[in-house]
Chains A and B, each alone.
Chain A
Amino acid sequence: MSRSIALLICLVGGLTMLVSPFLPMATGWANDVTDWFNILAAMAFVLGGGSLLKVQLMRLSARGPGWGYSAVTLVAFIVTLWVGLGKVGVVADPSAPAVAWSGKADDEGSAFWWIYLYVMTPITSTLFAVLAFYVASAAFRAFRAKNLEATLLLATAFVILLGRTFAGVVLTGWLPDWASGLRLENLAVTIMDVFNTAGNRAIIIGIALGVASTGIRLMLGLDRSYLGGDA
């Protein structure tokens, strides 16, 4: 029974979204369906938090390899949640200066703002920046001109790497106007404009067809994998 209701909700929701661009009267319905989705997504946040707590607590109690990371995750999660929900250190809003909690949780000066600025921002920026080191190491170890395809890929990479910097201008800026298409910066644009665009458009069209067919299968109940189990 519960599976049938889920399938019915999927069918009604999917059909509503599908017909809304063609039926003006269905536009409001589609917006309502999107609101339902947002409400479900908000509930999923709570479920996600619960799941994170459960998994990390289990790892912590098992004391398996890397349990220390679970402890750090748990402490970070609980402290951030407490600081955000409790509006710790929030500066009162000028419109209600007597009410300590009238300010926003992430306003400048609050503990949540401090966590964002001095913990979240440096950590995420550092993790992204570290990629440069791994890319350099991987390029040295794995990028080999073993065959024609790999050699073409390598040549293309060189053109893009040089064409996206001032090196392109220095190396090929001397070429006369009639041969300007061979300047590295212009070659890089041509590669993006022609080869990259052609390949990507083919992929995008293929994905769109796949999404459409998957959507129809979901709405018709032929694909029930999202219900979990053996459905």
Chain B
Amino acid sequence: MSSGLDRRWIYLAMMLAVALPILWNGVTGKTFPESPTPPSQACFDAIEALPEGSRVLVSFDYDPASEGELAPMATSFMRHLMHRRLKPVMVSLWPLGPKKAEETITNVIKAEFPDRTSGKDFVNLGFQTGNEGVLKVIGTDFRKQFPVDRSGTPVDRLPIMEGIAKVGDFPLVITISAGYPGGKEWVQYVSSSNPGLVLLAGVTGVQASQVYSYYPGQLRGMLAAIKGAAEYEALVSAAIDGAGVTPPRYAEARRRMAPQLFGHLLLIGLIVLGNAMFFAQKRCKAVAR
């Protein structure tokens, strides 16, 4: 039924729907304007509310498969934190997460804030296996799970970690997550047992509907998929760059909104077409009888 359209035409249409807006963006440099929804605005406000020098725990719980959606969030979060002179402490519950953290450090901190030093202004503590077990332990003893940073320096020797004994000592925790373990586990094992702690999450579209259930209680703010990333990116750019030009590496999420728009329009068109063919066939069969 409705199989009259060769699927290769659908694939070709999808390729064009995504590729042409990317090319258009590459030529013109233009992006769609974004107005923030409350969950994205809440992320921005939570970071703005922190006093300068506060330590922020950032968990990179994703791998290259979800990079398209989540890397722009990580970039914007890091840029915002560094611009506000906050100190990110990076960890990961995913094996490939530390690489993503390193890439964010290279693209944001080393590129725009070269005066900040590792161990004092930011640190990458790497990956720890154990999923929610890790979260349960850092609730009482952070150093037990993360005793050294990525370069092997004991956490006790890092100025940025002074006075941090447990996860509740961080005023703000951000998780950028693609699945399990991720946003849901941070809510269940960290946010719920530390009522004073503010938790923000950047999640993929697939995860968004599930994690949304915790907003705005246990989860103060959230960036849902590339749309949330684009909204937050626009807020950060407006705060930092003002009316000036935003470097292209800080407009990645907004750049992806045009392909998303045309991809969605194609999907709607295909659904409408499929239904039209379905009902037409049904009618033909009824007439034939």
B28 surroundings in chain A (CB, below 8 A): none
Report the bound CA distance from A25 to B63 in whole Å: 38
Answer whether residue B264 sits at the interface, using C-beta atoms and an 8 A cutoff: yes
B212 surroundings in chain A (CB, below 8 A): 192-193, 196-197, 200
Min CB–CB distance A117 → chain B (angstroms): 9
User: Are B130 and A38 touching (Cβ within 8 A)?
Assistant: yes
Answer whether residue A81 sits at the interface, using C-beta atoms and an 8 A cutoff: no
B33 surroundings in chain A (CB, below 8 A): 166, 169
Interface string of A209-230 (1 = CB under 8 A from B): 0000000000000000000000
Min CB–CB distance A4 → chain B (angstroms): 25
Instruction: Give chain B's interface residues, CB within 8 Å of chain A.
Output: 2-3, 5, 7, 10-11, 13-15, 18, 32-33, 35, 37-38, 63-68, 96, 99, 129-130, 133-134, 136-137, 140-141, 144, 150-151, 193, 208-210, 212-213, 224-225, 227, 257-258, 260-261, 263-268, 270-271, 273-275, 278
Q: Which of B15, B151, B213, B267 is close to A135, meaning CB atoms less than 8 Å apart?
A: B267
Contact A196 to B209, CB < 8 A, known contacts A41-B130, A42-B129, A128-B66: yes
User: Are A143 and B271 touching (Cβ within 8 A)?
Assistant: yes
A38 surroundings in chain B (CB, below 8 A): 129-130, 133
Q: Which of B7, B63, B133 is close to A124, meaning CB atoms less than 8 Å apart?
A: B63
Min CB–CB distance A29 → chain B (angstroms): 11
User: Are B266 and A136 touching (Cβ within 8 A)?
Assistant: yes
Report the bound CA distance from A167 to B224 in whole Å: 18
User: Are B264 and A164 touching (Cβ within 8 A)?
Assistant: yes
Min CB–CB distance A25 → chain B (angstroms): 12
User: Are B274 and A204 touching (Cβ within 8 A)?
Assistant: no
Min CB–CB distance B146 → chain A (angstroms): 13
Which range contains the number of A residues in contact with the other chain? 35 or more
Answer whether residue A6 sits at the interface, using C-beta atoms and an 8 A cutoff: no
User: Are B129 and A106 touching (Cβ within 8 A)?
Assistant: no
User: Are A37 and B266 touching (Cβ within 8 A)?
Assistant: no
Q: Which residue of chain B has its CB nearest to the CB of A120?
A: B64
Min CB–CB distance A141 → chain B (angstroms): 6
Q: Which residue of chain B has its CB nearest to the CB of A197?
A: B213
Report the bound CA distance from A28 to B203 in whole Å: 32
User: Are B65 and A30 touching (Cβ within 8 A)?
Assistant: no
Report the bound CA distance from A176 to B104 in whole Å: 42
Residues from 29 to 44 in A contacting B, C-beta threshold 8 Å: 30-31, 34-35, 37-38, 41-42
Residues from 6 to 36 in A contacting B, C-beta threshold 8 Å: 17, 21, 27-28, 30-31, 34-35
Answer whether residue A231 sits at the interface, using C-beta atoms and an 8 A cutoff: no
Report the bound CA distance from A196 to B212 in whole Å: 8
Min CB–CB distance B109 → chain A (angstroms): 16
Report the bound CA distance from A137 to B8 in whole Å: 9
10 A-B pairs in the complex with CB atoms less than 8 angstroms apart: A27-B140, A30-B140, A133-B14, A136-B14, A140-B10, A143-B275, A144-B278, A167-B264, A169-B35, A193-B212
A42 surroundings in chain B (CB, below 8 A): 129
Min CB–CB distance B153 → chain A (angstroms): 10
User: Are B264 and A165 touching (Cβ within 8 A)?
Assistant: yes
Across the A-B interface, give the 6 residue pairs with the lowest CB-CB distance, nearest first.
A124-B65, A140-B270, A165-B261, A166-B32, A121-B64, A200-B213
User: Are A161 and B37 touching (Cβ within 8 A)?
Assistant: no
Report the bound CA distance from A35 to B134 in whole Å: 9
Report the bound CA distance from A23 to B169 in whole Å: 21
A143 surroundings in chain B (CB, below 8 A): 271, 274-275
Answer whether residue A79 sits at the interface, using C-beta atoms and an 8 A cutoff: no
Min CB–CB distance B49 → chain A (angstroms): 23
Answer whether residue A125 sits at the interface, using C-beta atoms and an 8 A cutoff: yes
A114 surroundings in chain B (CB, below 8 A): none
A82 surroundings in chain B (CB, below 8 A): none
User: Are B268 and A140 touching (Cβ within 8 A)?
Assistant: no
User: Are B14 and A129 touching (Cβ within 8 A)?
Assistant: no
User: Are A154 and B11 touching (Cβ within 8 A)?
Assistant: no
User: Are B2 and A141 touching (Cβ within 8 A)?
Assistant: yes
Report the bound CA distance from A100 to B115 in whole Å: 30
Answer whether residue A92 sits at the interface, using C-beta atoms and an 8 A cutoff: no
Q: Which residue of chain B has its CB nearest to the CB of A160?
A: B264
Report the bound CA distance from A193 to B219 in whole Å: 13
